[in-house]
Structure 1
């Protein structure tokens, strides 16, 4: 059993770590200053464009996409430690390297299921970082953790589909560069197989009947760096039948294919967030004095830091094992491990961030440190891509099946 990264991964890790130190971390404050001066808070600060140009120049671009024709051609095991590094600055680094959700998942869908025309019209500009996209699945009126509940209608009318429904927390939709939605709805709501009722269609943002109604906050944040999370209404929006992704009735299966890689991307970025939190904890502990001695000398603080290190090392091994399984036996074969990391990682990282906030006192909840925003992101991932309880239910059933 070899725990070392291969030569290509080590080379990319070194380049990416240097890119983070030289360009990304210094740009965090610059991006916030520039955003405050923009006409709209949803516009992209100029420094983000500069980062994207530099990342592309260095070959740190589309690292997430395993298809060598479109991306870097890395395996999940090769990409995982790179995603961890970008997770240290989750609101800037993934975008800078064109590895930000929801674009990553949408590009994977188009690469795997899109027609040649769809790839040319939408995948190519996404790969080039010229446009952004959104994935419209979650709905406010139903428990969307069960995708069979979705109520958005996609009705065939001659050579067109007519889409009617209301979505919310549609990530990236507030960004003015968001040009295309992948919309999940029901084409066969009365079908006998509840997992064949759903389909996905491509809906350009400027389609008549599409209204981006409002930005949804997450713990009071509007998440400008990711293009926000919007409520979007589709009021008899019409698109050509050629905008169908895959086949009618294939929406559920496509969603599962899309979410598998996304979950491991999220988990590795979460580990990066935890590493950033540990670094901030240590710096704060050695530089702050309370009751006559440095915080680093307080037993409770030492326990927090030790526990955080142990937790991160455990999580990383589990996530890397999952990545290896995805590469060797496929997403279906790694189903248990994918669910395990989805349950374990956000929960544990929330705990680490909570301790880091506590150690920073009032500063921990302020805008002067990234901890509060990191906490909001990590806590949200206990809901995103399926809440923890859904994965626990499925995983437990699989474990129990062997004894029934």
Structure 2
């Protein structure tokens, strides 16, 4: 892909190339049978699509040939186009958790760590996993990272890590891992640390990969046990004790990236539902001419545009240099709820066909339902926002 200039023209070129690739090359793969036990595409399929994306010049399109990263506003436009198929982000290498891990490594990683771990990820040759979340019923960290029970201790020139992790997306089959643990002693005691590790490692055991409502991510969402994992000290990401800060560097853009990708999928689901409504006859006229159906599709357009504007607003805040924790919470809630309404209406418009795998509409519904939980449930973000309202009120009273 030949890029000319910068700014809007460059972004439009990249986005157009990604959209053309997804529509012409990726969508035909949606019925490919190479899937695992819960329907996620196998790495063989992913790498085949990535080979084609590489040849088309659209692999990892949000990271430029010189190593620079598109702005978040530019990334939003490109990632929305990649999401036009559930397979699209995998094919062009904009999928979670890799996209978020690449962003974090680009921001925090040393030149040596970037060369060893980031480069093969940008090249689309390996998958990665982010080991933060822990089993809820064991009292571990979930939406509240401060509850982290996985520990790390310095032993000579190695850190030794022990703990349990849950819902680790893509752990099975990943080649790069970012492991988060709480320092058990030393100057950073109580603070979190992040480590880069080569996978697989015998000290990281996959205990279980459950079947989940979503099925777009290779490797599923594993529960793992980490037992005496020894990591060289120079594979720490950033500084000891700063892991919670680095988590925010990753999580705010990652929430937004989810919004971007699934906005694209809901746009496609809406296209499929609108096509169905314009073809299907019932009670003497096309479904689109029945107000009950036509109005649902009209509401989809409204929600799609509002979600797009929310995404661009939050992206502009992140581009300003802010961590954007408040804005990303607001956007994650508003967009995930809007996309859920869109996906639900698409199923409803298509009736019986909408709940079958004849089209991707039912998968988009499942994926977006999971998105309302992933990267922080709606209720956790609302609770966080309510606490901010309380803090702001108290500050105003004491002013």
TM more than 0.5? yes
Aligned to 1:130: 125
- Summarize deviations over 1:297-321 as a string: whole Å, max 9, x none: 2211111011111111111112112
- Summarize deviations over 1:5-55 as a string: whole Å, max 9, x none: 8211222222222212221112222xx22448x9x9774244x33432232
Query: TM-score w.r.t. structure 2 length?
Result: 0.89
Q: Please give the secondary structure, in 2, of the residue aligned with 1:161.
A: strand
Aligned to 2:3: none
1:204 aligns with 2:194: no
Question: How far did 1:224 drift?
Answer: 6.0
Aligned to 2:24: 22
Question: How far did 1:391 drift?
Answer: 1.9
Q: Please give the secondary structure, in 1, of the residue aligned with 2:322.
A: helix
CA distance in 1, matches of 2:208, 2:216: 13
> Where do 5+ consecutive residues of structure 1 fail to align?
none
1:79 aligns with 2:75: yes
Structure 1 378/189 Cα, relative in aligned 2: closer, same or farther at 3 Å?
farther
- Work out whether residues 70 and 127 of structure 1, in 8 Å CA contact, stay in contact via their aligned partners in 2: no
Q: Please give the secondary structure, in 2, of the residue aligned with 1:352.
A: helix
CA distance in 2, matches of 1:399, 1:103: 34
CA distance in 2, matches of 1:86, 1:362: 28
Cα RMSD, aligned residues only: 2.4
- Summarize deviations over 1:248-268 as a string: whole Å, max 9, x none: 101101100011211221111
- Work out whether residues 97 and 170 of structure 2, in 8 Å CA contact, stay in contact via their aligned partners in 1: yes
Aligned to 2:157: 159
1:113 aligns with 2:108: yes
Question: How far did 1:96 drift?
Answer: 1.4
Q: Please give the secondary structure, in 2, of the residue aligned with 1:226.
A: coil
Match of 1:246 among 238, 241, 266: 238
- Summarize deviations over 1:97-121 as a string: whole Å, max 9, x none: 1211111111222222223332222
Question: How far did 1:143 drift?
Answer: 4.9
- Work out whether residues 273 and 374 of structure 1, in 8 Å CA contact, stay in contact via their aligned partners in 2: yes
CA distance in 2, matches of 1:162, 1:192: 14
- Work out whether residues 93 and 124 of structure 2, in 8 Å CA contact, stay in contact via their aligned partners in 1: yes
Aligned to 1:323: 315
- Work out whether residues 64 and 104 of structure 1, in 8 Å CA contact, stay in contact via their aligned partners in 2: no
> Where do 5+ consecutive residues of structure 2 fail to align?
1-6
Q: Please give the secondary structure, in 2, of the residue aligned with 1:185.
A: strand
- Work out whether residues 343 and 388 of structure 1, in 8 Å CA contact, stay in contact via their aligned partners in 2: yes
CA distance in 1, matches of 2:332, 2:185: 30
Question: How far did 1:225 drift?
Answer: 4.4
- Work out whether residues 190 and 197 of structure 1, in 8 Å CA contact, stay in contact via their aligned partners in 2: no
- Work out whether residues 11 and 74 of structure 2, in 8 Å CA contact, stay in contact via their aligned partners in 1: yes
Structure 1 68/284 Cα, relative in aligned 2: closer, same or farther at 3 Å?
same
Relative to structure 2, which stretch is displaced further, 208-217 or 181-190?
181-190
Structure 1 43/88 Cα, relative in aligned 2: closer, same or farther at 3 Å?
closer
- Work out whether residues 19 and 84 of structure 2, in 8 Å CA contact, stay in contact via their aligned partners in 1: no
Aligned to 1:179: 175
- Work out whether residues 364 and 371 of structure 1, in 8 Å CA contact, stay in contact via their aligned partners in 2: yes
Q: Which runs of 4+ in 1 moved over 4 A?
A: 189-193
Question: How far did 1:190 drift?
Answer: 10
Query: TM-score w.r.t. structure 1 length?
Result: 0.88
Question: How far did 1:234 drift?
Answer: 0.6
CA distance in 1, matches of 2:367, 2:49: 22
Question: How far did 1:295 drift?
Answer: 1.5
CA distance in 2, matches of 1:148, 1:9: 38
Aligned to 1:392: 382
CA distance in 2, matches of 1:43, 1:307: 36
- Work out whether residues 155 and 162 of structure 1, in 8 Å CA contact, stay in contact via their aligned partners in 2: yes
Question: How far did 1:212 drift?
Answer: 1.3
Aligned to 2:43: 44
CA distance in 2, matches of 1:277, 1:262: 23
Q: Please give the secondary structure, in 2, of the residue aligned with 1:330.
A: coil
Match of 1:351 among 312, 318, 341: 341
